[in-house]
Structure 1
């Protein structure tokens, strides 16, 4: 469903890298957390021109890890009519939306406390 190689916008990548520097969480793990936070918040992707111009192009198995199947099924459920490229843009939009709530944490302890409180 998703292409094998996926990328994000440069802005989202920069936010993921800053979060890694502050907390030590790798961009792929942070992207997974951001994606699911976005889904939980009710955000929905609107097909608008979006430039996925980031330089960090990773295999979907790296981006999604053990959540690959669940993530793809969830995207298919929410967006049943999107093709592979648009589905990747939807995933990227969710990561961008979700990272907004995570990007300002300065330590792993602060971030983990936030994630625990949001349950």
Structure 2
């Protein structure tokens, strides 16, 4: 079960808001896209357990929407395959940050579309 409130670092939240200005997609949708990109990557995860100093709290219902159970299943599978036994908050933060790194070049909604049309 996911925690009710997810703590994201201020840096992560700022990046999500920046992407919102470029794509017109809300931060919660961009976070879902980022997690999806991170989850499809099969390389070994190196999750750093840390608590951000400055945080932005987002409710679980907002972050995952109606797809909470699906994301929970995907993240549990990820943890099982990667043999990760870290706090779920740290895992979610890692997945969002890792996915945001992959979204670094996105300047428009068309760039985002191209990312999914040509997976690498």
Deviation at 1:57, TM superposition (A): 1.2
Q: Secondary structure at 1:8's aligned position in 2? A: strand
TM value normalised by structure 2: 0.82
Q: TM-score, normalised by structure 1?
A: 0.83
Question: Post-superposition shift, 1:45?
Answer: 4.3
1:82-93 superposed matches below 5 A: 82=85, 86-93=87-94
The structural deviation recorded for 1:47 is 4.9
* Structure 1 segment 35-114 matched on structure 2, within 5 A: 35-79=35-79, 82=85, 86-114=87-115
Per-residue deviation, 1:53: 4.1
Matched, 1:28 2:33: no
Question: Unaligned stretches of 5+ in structure 1?
Answer: none
**RMSD across aligned C-alpha pairs, in angstroms?**
2.2
Gaps of 5+ in 2: none
**How far is the alpha carbon of 1:44 from its aligned partner?**
4.8
Aligned length: 117
Structure 1 residues 2 and 44: alpha-carbon distance in aligned structure 2, compared to 1, 3 A threshold: farther
